[in-house]
Structure 1
Amino acid sequence: MNWKAKTVLHKNTPRIAVYFEKNTKLISQIKTFENALWSSSQGYWHLPDTTENRLYFKIPLTYTLTPNQEGIDSITIFRNYLASKRYSSNTITTYCDALKSFLTFFNTKPIDQITNEDVILYNNSYILKNKLSSSYQNQIVNAIKLFFKTVKEKTIEVEKIHRPKREKKLPNVLSKEEVKQIITSPINIKHRVMLSLIYSCGLRCGELLALEPQHIDSKRNIVILKNSKGKKDRIVPLSPKILELLREYYKLYKPKFYLFEGQHPGKQYYARSLQQVLKNTLQKTGIQKPVTLHWLRHSYATHLLESGTDLRYIQELLGHNSSKTTEIYTHVSTKNIQQIKSPFDDL
């Protein structure tokens, strides 16, 4: 296109100014944009400063773009709805941020006029164009569906909004030797116990940090997980070796409310601090892999499978709703694969 565009402040309103030499074809095209106006005093056409228009004219996105007032009010109503339904704080934040991204893209369009075609436009012109992940796209779809189904009475056909095809990525798994390196390296016993408990019980980070001393049942050798993902309670077996470490840790730290507390007594240990603990540990061990806390949970499940534990029990221990989620570990277990002889060996 023979035109140039940039952001301007036109009459104290953020707009996108479009410059081009007088051309009948270009004038006809610029008029197809919603709320496109000609400024004779400035000598340019100007359009609403929206994400959609910025992407079209290849203007870098900024974080100053926000939904219009209707969008802001709708997000507040949506947030209150999610809170009343007792969604977790993480889910509320994720869904509201996703809806905000979508409504920002259409911040010059009344919500009642948004259609299924707009969802496709958003996916193609924002998600795919910016090479955002399919998981992020899936979050957007979840938020849009729930918003229009429960909060905004609208004629949009929610069931026709399709989810992106999921990427089939295998979970990252560590060897037992690598796990041992990681959980034995920290000098601080609190750090050592936290990493060990995640691996030995297959815990999510949030589940570990929500533990209270009363959730450790030493007589039955189990850990009781309250209100874990999906608002479900479950129990997992407690290793006798971990119980010894826990007793040593408890005598030294004497936590007041949570089993693992930060610098302030009675306050939950920060997830970011635990991630930093793992990062420091990896530097100390020299392990070059981009290990996360969740890798320890994946390794727990895979090592159980390799030791002969039935997949149904692993599903129960991990708290998976569907067996299909647990079956992914059969693809990374090396127990049977290592027994396969390569035809190369017979050459």
Structure 2
Amino acid sequence: MAELEQIFHYPTISNSSEDKARDFWVFSCLCNGMNIKDICRLKYSNLDGDKLIFYRAKTENTKKSNQKPIVVFLTPEAKAIIEKWGNPAKLSTSYIFPILQPNITPQQERALVQYLTKQVNKYMKRIVETLGIDKPVTTYAARHSFSTVLKRSGAPIEFISESLGHNSLQTTEHYLDSFEDDVKKQYANLLTKFKDDA
């Protein structure tokens, strides 16, 4: 939580590439760990008052009956990011963030999403180095951070699973376990911390 707080409050030059990268990372973290592709694909039609309702791009080829919409309750910080970086034309058919354009090919979409992901990762790496955070903080880490904070706050695994858009609790349990090992490793290293003091 302390590291997340540092990232959230990291001072950036307004409207710089670093500012945009940090904001998109924070937005992902605040919005159920939404991945960059899903963020890029959001339209104003996905906004419903204080909520964002969307389907993951990853599941678009799944039968509609098996798809569950993901509902994100927007915090004031997430709303501020939409206001800051969002398309001024708030038509229901407009993308919220001006990254994709209508009628682009799947290859063009992929290239634009990959470019934004690389930019976010590049600047987040610089930010965490400046902050002295010794771990990779990528777009994927925003999803992990969202899940970890919920888990450690005592949120039921069913809620975390639904928020992430997983189809089974097993997927979520495996997902959470995969990065709990990092925490176990950190604690194990504390057992020999005295070596650093020698």
What's the TM-score, normalizing by structure 1?
A: 0.39
Other structure's SS at 1:259 match: coil
In the alignment, does 2:41 pair up with 1:210?
Answer: yes
Q: In structure 2, what is the Cα distance between the partners aligned to 1:184 and 1:228? A: 30
Which among 209, 225, 238 is matched to residue 74 of structure 2? 238
In the alignment, does 2:158 pair up with 1:312?
Answer: yes
Equivalence for 1:39: none
Equivalence for 1:300: 146
Change (3 A) 1:273 1:213: farther
- The answer on whether the counterparts of 2:120 and 2:138 sit within 8 Å (CA) in structure 1 is no
Q: In structure 2, what is the Cα distance between the partners aligned to 1:289 and 1:190? A: 21
Matched residue pairs, number? 156
- The answer on whether the counterparts of 2:56 and 2:165 sit within 8 Å (CA) in structure 1 is no
Higher relative contact order (CA 8 A, sep 6+): 2
Where do 1:131-142 residues align within 5 Å?
A: none
Where do 1:96-111 residues align within 5 Å?
A: none
Q: Quote the RMSD (CA, aligned, Å).
A: 3.1
Which among 88, 94, 99 is matched to residue 254 of structure 1? 88
Equivalence for 2:8: 183
Moved over 4 A (4+): 264-269
- Amino acid in structure 2 at the alignment position of 1:184: H
- Amino acid in structure 2 at the alignment position of 1:241: E
- Amino acid in structure 1 at the alignment position of 2:8: I
Q: In structure 2, what is the Cα distance between the partners aligned to 1:276 and 1:255? A: 29
Where do 1:64-83 residues align within 5 Å?
A: none
Which deviations, in whole Å up to 9, do the C-alpha atoms of 1:271-310 show, x marking residues without a partner? 2222223233233323232222111111111111111211
Change (3 A) 1:249 1:292: closer
Other structure's SS at 1:191 match: helix
Higher helix share: 2
Change (3 A) 1:230 1:177: same
User: Structure 1 residue 240: deviation in Å?
Assistant: 2.8
Pair member with larger Rg:
1
Which deviations, in whole Å up to 9, do the C-alpha atoms of 1:130-156 show, x marking residues without a partner? xxxxxxxxxxxxxxxxxxxxxxxxxxx
User: Structure 1 residue 180: deviation in Å?
Assistant: 2.3
- The answer on whether the counterparts of 2:82 and 2:97 sit within 8 Å (CA) in structure 1 is no
- The answer on whether the counterparts of 1:179 and 1:296 sit within 8 Å (CA) in structure 2 is no
- The answer on whether the counterparts of 2:29 and 2:142 sit within 8 Å (CA) in structure 1 is yes
- The answer on whether the counterparts of 2:22 and 2:124 sit within 8 Å (CA) in structure 1 is no
Calculate percent identity across the aligned residue pairs.
28
- The answer on whether the counterparts of 1:181 and 1:285 sit within 8 Å (CA) in structure 2 is yes
- Amino acid in structure 2 at the alignment position of 1:225: F
Other structure's SS at 1:181 match: helix
Unaligned runs of 5+ in 2: 61-66, 103-108, 192-198
User: Structure 1 residue 235: deviation in Å?
Assistant: 1.9
- Amino acid in structure 2 at the alignment position of 1:309: A
In the alignment, does 2:30 pair up with 1:200?
Answer: yes
User: Structure 1 residue 230: deviation in Å?
Assistant: 1.8
Equivalence for 1:223: 52
Where do 1:1-347 residues align within 5 Å?
A: 176-185=1-10, 186-187=12-13, 188=15, 189-201=19-31, 202-217=33-48, 219=49, 221-231=50-60, 232=67, 233-250=69-86, 254=88, 257-262=94-99, 270=115, 271-328=117-174, 329=176, 332=180
Unaligned runs of 5+ in 1: 1-175, 343-347
Q: In structure 2, what is the Cα distance between the partners aligned to 1:315 and 1:303? A: 13
